[in-house]
Structure 1
């Protein structure tokens, strides 16, 4: 008998303009801090389509020519859940930046200054990897008993 495993898929899309990136100042729920646009992929859209839609909804910009940068995943062996976040970067966009979205105020931030801002740990961990050659895979196993991250592996390809 096979066990039931829950899979959830999200995207993140780093939008770059010269030496700046577009980040949202998210100040609600348990995930506060500066984050790139992104969110849940709606079935049956493709993962890249989900990333494009999320950027449009959260920033007003239309992005193209996404470059896949890597996978960030959380697995919870106790609850049989796997959360997969597909990460992209692009510098190809059109449109006007909206003033505010439900996810937070979008702002252009210098790449060199971004790591000094309040940022979720998972975003901080992968932020520099967006600007390196190649792709990455980050695998985080959740420690259910202690309600925190357990083993973490980071692979660059």
Structure 2
């Protein structure tokens, strides 16, 4: 028996410069707060190509040498949805920051100050893992009734 599963893929790429990371100060729609650059992967581009493109579109920077850090996945069995976010980090970039990104103003933030910023709990939950050895996998069940994250499982490798 085969069921139709709705797959969607996104990327996030954390750009690091010594003791700072580049975040977007996003203040529109329902997804307010500080977020790393990222977005939907367009078919047929690769996940890395999608991450590179999104960073360029949202910040103006050209990134390279992306390091895979992990997956953040939402599953919704009631709707047969599976949304997967591929997470990367890089220290390699060139170019100038754009001032007015439609996704939010790009700003450099000291790493030790990041946890004090307003951000979605999904981002706050995984951000520290970008700076640890190994990779991570979060699986989050979506709670339709409350329209929020339900059970969260973390696996590290």
TM range (shorter): over 0.9
Match of 1:71 in 2: 71
TM (norm. structure 2) is: 0.98
CA RMSD of superposed structures (Å) = 0.7
Match of 1:34 in 2: 34
Match of 1:131 in 2: 131
CA shift digits 1:62-105 (9 cap, x unpaired)? 00000000000000000100000000000000101111200000
Alignment of 1:2-41 (within 5 A): 2-41=2-41
Instruction: State the aligned residue count.
Output: 157
Corresponding position: 1:43 with 2:43: yes
| CA distance in structure 2 between the partners assigned to 1:149 and 1:37 by the alignment | 21
Alignment of 1:47-62 (within 5 A): 47-62=47-62
| CA distance in structure 2 between the partners assigned to 1:148 and 1:105 by the alignment | 26
CA shift digits 1:34-81 (9 cap, x unpaired)? 000000000000000000000000000000000000000000000100
| CA distance in structure 2 between the partners assigned to 1:42 and 1:131 by the alignment | 27
Please identify, of 140-149 and 90-99, the stretch whose mean Cα deviation from structure 2 is larger.
140-149
